[in-house]
Amino acid sequence: MKQGTESGKKSPQRRLAAAGELARRLLGKSVVRRVCAPLLAGCLALLAAPGAQAGPQVKWKDVRDPQLGKALFNLYQDRNFTGIIELSHALHTQKLRAQSQDAELALVMLDLSYGLHRRAGARLASLMNRGDTRPDITNQIWFYAAKIRYQRGYFNQAESALANISGALPWELEQDLQSFSALLMMDRDQYPEAAQLLSQVKGRTGGVPFARYNTGIALIQAKKKDEGRAVLDKLVQTQADTEEARTLRDRAHVSLGYLQLLDNQPQKAKAYFEQVRLKSSQSNEALLGLGWVHYNLGDFSRALVPWMELSGRNVADTNVQEARVAVPYALIKLDAYRQAKEQYEFAFRSFKEELARLDSTIASVKKGAYFDKLLAQSRWEDGEKGWYGEVYSLPAAAESYYFTQMLARHDYQETLKNYRDLRYLEQKLNVWSTDLGAQGDTVAGWSTDVDNRVRRGAAATFAARVNQMRQLRDGYVAELARIEAQHDAPGLASEKELQQLARLKSLEASPPAGSAEQAQAYRTRLRVLRGRILWNVHSQYNTRLFNMKNALAEMEKTIETATAQQNRLADASQKAALSSKNLQQRTKILNNKITQLRPRITGALESLEDYLKVVALQDMEKRKQILSEFLAQVAFSVGQANDPGPGGGTPKR
């Protein structure tokens, strides 16, 4: 470092250099932070491993019940909300003709996939208590339950879910289980045990590189730095065929680079940083590290190359902020004071602008404006999926950058999922409410129709006819009783006989003109004819009385049948009215339930939004704090550079 020309009087260059020393200390602190970042990220990498968040993989091989099959069809397509409703209904209405135990397990899986891990755990425990379980399936379900609980921050419950697993899982899941158990150990600071467990993960599945990475991290944390480094070294040398694997390799390179830098091995660190792809998500940290490598090697002009590249990137990234402070510092080392001053001024301006952007974002978050944009990106139909549904993509807005890191946080992701799910439920309640209205109308229409057709129409006509029959019957019974009492045989004469007797009477009253003998013969003929009719009537009295009584008995039977039919019709009418009343009552109860659920959902949505805001604001404030530290340092450096000193006429500092 070039010294000032006069002792006791600092030149602007000297003051700038002194300011640079302060910047160096600040940068030193932030290097610690940079090294930690990939290590911590590494700890969490496991959950991002392929398959870790994939949909449920529990498979049933022998499906013999359509309701179980339908539930699985829903489950495999992440139609969890619909699946739960349909399978619960099928179970409660005893529709399961076979495999009801399997169906209950499928319901647990649906609950779990939908994010209802508490209810799923309780149901599964209850099934296990009943002894109604298939270990091949329950073991897998407990494993998924553990993962979901871990991701939601229920660490103890995650461990208790793992404790329920008895026996082996399918091979791939067994590997996954070991990685996951190691993650839990690392959370308990049991790094040697975690490293031991992770070293047993084998095979060529997508999760293995993540297990290797975490093994390296666990060993380093367990103070076995060399062993950990060796594992990471092996990882970066393996073939990376996918973007995910390449990103992991970049991350391992960055971690190894910073570890070497910490061990005063900048030359070795350089080799690692240079392997990181320039467009990788890790490249900012690599560029920053590479700058520090050259700086430590005393090659300040070379340090400027990665730092200048980094300095031109998005200033919202703290790596870029650090580079903008590091660049003028390296320039001072090269005695390029004018350029250093320019770079400090550039950093000062850009930091001020960034602070203003942060303030504006904070205001936008406080007003909820940003969340409106964020939530507008969401696909509400994903609310059907629940836990397995994708999380939000960020809107094309200036504020989005600040949310990328927050979206990597489990609590933030899970809260957003919950928020999306509740918005879906809110919409679902609206649809149901409309459907219930339509059903209510249908029931009311049906009820009126039944009422008109049965009670007022057919039933009324039928009742009138039955009454008529009863009256007729009563008349016949009374007449027959009189005839029997009076032994009135003519009373049983047929209609024809009565007509013939009436005709004979009429002929007697008006005899034809003629002689007396002719008149006598005429009357005699009429008497004989009447006698024959009356003889028939009297001689057949008993038979006719018997037949008449039989006919009345038949009539009685007909009336009884008709009365029974009339009663059945009335019953049916009453039942229809009751059923319609019952359906209308149920519709009303359901509408009430929907009405009660709505404010609960609104309240929960507000709480979730508040939580999302608070977390976002905390993160912004943290960013502001880091940036303010840089800004203060840069402002001091700029001030020093502009201060002509004690003889310069400017106020003393």
Partner 1 sequence: MRTFVTIAGIAAALACATAGAQGLTSDQKFLSLDGKVQSLKADVLSVGEEIKALEEELLFPPSTQFAVFLAADIDSSIKLVSAQISVDGTVVANHMYDTGQLEALMGGGIQQLHLGNVKTGPHKLSAAYMAKVGKKVSRYTTEYSFNKGKDPVYLELIVQGKDLQEGGKEPRFSAKEWK
- Give the interface segment with partner 1, choosing from 203-211, 240-248, 317-325, 414-422 (CB under 8 A): 414-422
Q: Is 74 one of the binding residues for partner 1 (CB under 8 A)?
A: yes
Instruction: Please report, as residue ranges, which positions from 192 to 221 form the binding site for partner 1 (by CB under 8 A).
Output: 221
Collapsed DSSP state (helix, strand, coil) of residue 116: coil
- The one among 16, 49, 72, 112 contacting partner 1 by CB under 8 A: 72
One-character DSSP codes across 90-106: HHHTT--SS-HHHHHHH
Which residues, in sequence order, are CB contacts of 557 under 8 Å at separation 6+?
none
Stretch in the footprint of partner 1 (CB under 8 A) among 113-121, 138-146, 169-177, 561-569:
113-121
Q: What CA–CA distance (Å, rounded) separates 187 from 138?
A: 26
- Which residues make Cβ contacts (< 8 Å) with residue 27, sequence separation at least 6? 322, 325, 326, 329
Binding of residue 584 to partner 1 (CB under 8 A): no
Cα 626 to Cα 632: distance, rounded to the nearest angstrom: 10
Greatest Cα pair distance, the chain, in angstroms, is 188
Which one of 54-62, 316-324, 335-343, 565-573 is the stretch in contact with partner 1 (CB under 8 A)?
54-62
Which of 276, 304, 358, 443 is close enough to bind partner 1 by CB under 8 A?
443
Q: Which two tokens stand for residue 222?
A: 């367990």
Tokens, residue 630: 């840089």
The window from 62-70, 230-238, 338-346, 360-368 that contacts partner 1 (CB under 8 A) reads 62-70
Is residue 429 within the footprint of partner 1 (CB under 8 A)? yes
Rank residues 324 and 341 by Cβ distance to partner 1 and give the closer one: 324
Taking residues 381 to 400 in sequence order and writing x for each that binds partner 1 by CB under 8 A, - otherwise, the string is -----x--------------
Q: Using the rule CB under 8 A, which residue among 81, 143, 337, 541 binds partner 1?
A: 81
Stated as kind and residue range, the H or E segment containing 592 is: helix 541-642
Task: Give the separation between CA 546 and CA 533, rounded to whole angstroms.
Answer: 19
Does residue number 588 form part of the binding site for partner 1 (CB under 8 A)? no
Nearer to partner 1, 155 or 535 (CB): 155
Site for partner 1 in 466-525 (CB under 8 A): none
Stretch near partner 1 under the rule CB under 8 A, chosen from 11-19, 110-118, 245-253, 549-557:
110-118
115 touches partner 1 by CB under 8 A:
yes
- How far, in Å, CA of 144 to CA of 161, rounded? 9
Residues 41 and 281: their CA atoms lie apart, in Å, by 13
- Give the three-class secondary structure for 651: coil
- Cβ-count burial 66-75 (b if 16+ within 10 Å, e if not): ebbebbbebb
- Residue 188's alpha-carbon distances to 160, 177, 182, 185, 220, in angstroms, are 15, 17, 10, 5, 15
Distance of CA 127 to the CA centre of its chain: 24
Q: Does 25 bind partner 1 (CB under 8 A)?
A: yes
Candidate segments 56-64, 229-237, 447-455, 629-637, binder of partner 1 by CB under 8 A: 56-64
Q: How far apart are CA 289 and CA 256, in angstroms?
A: 11
SS3 state at 644 = coil
What's the min distance (Å) between Cβ of 92 and partner 1?
A: 7
* 117 binding partner 1? (CB under 8 A): yes
CA 53 to CA 51: how far, in whole Å?
A: 5
Stretch that binds partner 1, among 72-80, 206-214, 365-373, 558-566 (CB under 8 A): 72-80
Selected binder of partner 1 within 108, 124, 219, 261 (CB under 8 A): 261
4, 51, 66, 170: which one contacts partner 1 (CB under 8 A)?
66
User: Is residue 29 close enough to count as binding partner 1 by CB under 8 A?
Assistant: yes
- Contact with partner 1 (CB under 8 A): which of 1, 9, 21, 59? 59
Is 45 a binder of partner 1 (CB under 8 A)? no
Site for partner 1 in 160-189 (CB under 8 A): 187
Residues contacting partner 1: total by CB under 8 A = 89
Residue placing its CB nearer to partner 1 in the complex, 83 or 491: 83
Binding-site member from 16, 17, 45, 116 for partner 1 (CB under 8 A): 116
Which residue, 332 or 533, is less far from partner 1 as judged by CB?
332
* CB 596, min distance to partner 1, A: 9
Residue indicated by tokens 């103070």: 223
Exactly one of 16, 17, 35, 489 binds partner 1 (CB under 8 A); which one? 35
Distance of CA 369 to the CA centre of its chain: 25
CB of 202 to partner 1, least distance (A): 27
Q: Hey, what's the torsion of the CAs at 555, 559, 564, 566, to 10 degrees?
A: 140
Q: Assess 445 for contact with partner 1 (CB under 8 A).
A: no
Q: Which stretch binds partner 1 (CB under 8 A): 64-72, 197-205, 557-565, 644-652?
A: 64-72
Under the binding rule (CB under 8 A), the answer on residue 379 touching partner 1 is: no
Number of H helices, E strands in the chain: 24, 0
Residue 629 sits in the site that holds partner 1 (CB under 8 A):
no
Distance CA 23, CA 322 (A): 9
Question: Buried b vs exposed e over 42-59: b needs ≥16 C-beta within 10 Å?
Answer: bbebbbebbebeeebebe
Give the CA dihedral 558, 564, 569, 573, nearest 10 degrees. Answer: 160
Binding flag, residue 577, partner 1 (CB under 8 A):
no
Using the minimum distance from each CB to partner 1, give the nearer residue, 48 or 590: 590
